[in-house]
Structure formats: structure tokens, C-alpha cells
Amino acid sequence: MRRIVLVALAAALALAGCTTESGDGGEGGGDGRPAKVDGIPTSKGTHKQKLDVGTIGHREYLLHVPAKVADGEWEDGRPAKPPALVIALHGGLATMDKMRKMSGFDELAEKHGFLVAYPNGFMTTWNAGDCCGAAKIGNVDDVDFLTRLIDKITGAGLADPDRVHVTGFSNGAGMAYRMACERPEKIAAIGVVEGALVTDCDPGEPVSAMIFHGTADRSVPYEGGGHRDFNDRRPFPPVSKAVDFWRRVGGLPEPDRRVRALSGDTRCESTGKGERGVAVTFCRIDGGGHEWPDGAAAMLWDFFASHPNRG
């Protein structure tokens, strides 16, 4: 436990010293685009931002604004057609920068014209319920942080509030589950990669979900097992528990309709859209370990784009 906390603290202190923004400059566009909206830069590129969460200090996130949005049509200082927003959550003992480099969402955002936000967890962790690390021990309200982040960007008119999607890897995937459990009204769909549902969940309304899991994952075992945290020896539930849970919430049948696969080792099955417009797609990666699969971001975006509205 001491080693994990010290590593997380060192990483957090190092990140705290990085406060510069990146991008192509702060000037507005000749098409009526302001330099900033509610303090959020609108120029193309990736911008490091701080967010007030009502406590001592602040939280940080990276916001990638693609050229298609920055150079597109603007009306009254807002995008004429607000784009979708994808929030991508890093794994435990990782950072927003690592998630940005690992996931590949920047390239997809440039191609398809959506915003991507990469938030930083607390001391490199997320409070996903029964996991993980410093965020769980400190009872950090990450649901509130991510809700404020969504409201900040959509409230500024920079993204469509009905096209907000949350995805994550490992601990971040568990956090995506928790957001869908506690703030389903904010989210159209979630994308879960190598994560577990380890929080009490009673969403009250369905959320579309795309779930990836490798059969050889030793950190979050496919069939369940391992330990939920360094101080919690209870096993992770099997991935089937989460698939079945979101299927039942949506009133959906067993997933059995094949969709495009990543490779010969990956088999994806979907329930198809139900009466409420939601779907659950599950991708099993035979022999896959605890890693972000090549091509997962493209499949996730295709799923998000086909489920543009809540419920």
C-alpha cells in the first residue's frame, strides 16, 4: 500500500507543476469563432484546462478541439451544430496524457469532428466504487467532477448535451460504469475496456454500452476473481455480470447479433437497439490481456455515433 500511494503522490505532484496549454494559439477565427467561450479555448489543438470543483485546489483535463470544429461554422459565438463529446478516462496509476496517446481518439476526432476530453484522476486513480487506490480511500467525488466537466463544456454551447459519451480503460472503465449508474441522464453511451462493475448501481434509465474484455486479463479477470483493490480482497465480478445488467436495464434480449470484429481473435455480439433506442454490444478478445486493443477507439466511436441520443 505504501508503495502505491507514494508512486501516485509523486505522479500527482509532477503533474501539478504542468499548467501550460497547448494548441494553435488563442486568437478567434474570422468566421465568428471567439478565442474562448466561458474560459474554454476554441482553437484547434489540445488544451490543458483547470476546473473548479468547489473544493481546495482544482482538477485538470485535456480538451482536444479538432479542426473540423474550430474551422467550422459558428453562430453567436458557438458552433452552429454543437459536436458530440467523448470523455476518455485513463486507467489506475496513469494520466490524462497517457490516455490521450494510448487511445487514438485525437485522430478520430479530427476525422469525424467531435470533442475529446481527457480528465486526470485523483493521484492517478478514480473512485469507481469499490476501487481504486487514493481516490477510493479519500472518498473523492469523481462523479461530481465529471458531471461538472460535462456541464462546463455543454453549458458553454461547445458540445451537444444529448451526445455525451464516456469511455475508459481499467479503473477508468469502472468509473465509466459508475457515471452511467449515477448520472445516466447525462450520458448517451459508455465504452468499457477491461473494467468491472464494482459499484452499487440503480440508474433508473438505460444507457447504451459497448464492453471489451480479454479472456487472459489477469488484472481484471474475465471470469471474475483477483482483488478489487490493495485493501479489498473481494474478487472482481465476471464481465458477464455487467453485460447482463445493462441488458436488463434496457429491456434487451441476449446479445447474439454479430457486428464488425477487430481481428480473428475478437468476437463481438450485440443486442441491437431496443424499444428505448439503447443497445449493448460485447466484444470478447480471445487471449487478450489487460490492454487497450488496437482499433478499439474506432469501434467505440462507431457505436457512439449510432447511439447519438439518451434513451
Report d(CA 202, CA 182) in Å as an integer.
7
Percent of the chain with pLDDT over 90: 83
Query: CB–CB of 167/89 below 8 Å?
Result: yes
| CATH code where residue 94 lies | 3.40.50.1820
- Say if 311 falls within a structural domain: no
User: Which CA distances in Å does 92 have to 56, 128, 308?
Assistant: 23, 11, 29
- Say if 92 falls within a structural domain: yes
Domain range for 48: 2-23+30-305
Percent of the chain with pLDDT over 70: 88
- Say if 249 falls within a structural domain: yes
C-alpha radius of gyration, the chain, whole number: 19
DSSP of 137-170, one letter per residue? HTT--HHHHHHHHHHHHHHTTSS-TTSEEEEEET
Cα dihedral value 58, 61, 62, 65, nearest 10: -100
Nearest C-alpha neighbor of 116 from the set 50, 165, 53? 165
- Say if 183 falls within a structural domain: yes
Q: pLDDT (tens digit, 9 = 90+) per residue, 100-130? A: 999 999 999 999 999 999 999 999 999 999 9
- Three cell numbers written together for 148: 461538472
- Say if 139 falls within a structural domain: yes
Burial of 11 by CB count in 10 Å (0-12 exposed, 13-18 middle, 19+ buried)?
A: middle
- Say if 310 falls within a structural domain: no
Q: Is 3 helix (H, G, I), strand (E, B) or coil?
A: helix
| Omega prior to 268 cis, within 30 of 0 | no
- Say if 147 falls within a structural domain: yes
The mean per-residue pLDDT over the stretch 45-61 comes to: 96
Q: pLDDT (tens digit, 9 = 90+) per residue, 221-280? A: 999 999 999 999 999 999 999 999 999 999 999 988 767 666 679 999 999 999 999 999
- Say if 117 falls within a structural domain: yes
Report d(CA 123, CA 134) in Å as an integer.
6
Model pTM score: 0.91
Q: pLDDT (tens digit, 9 = 90+) per residue, 242-256? A: 999 999 999 999 988
Q: pLDDT (tens digit, 9 = 90+) per residue, 159-204? A: 999 999 999 999 999 999 999 999 999 999 999 999 999 999 999 9
Contacts of 132 (CB under 8 A, 6+ apart): 92, 125, 126, 171, 174, 229
Nearest C-alpha neighbor of 274 from the set 256, 245, 251? 251
Domain count, the chain: 1
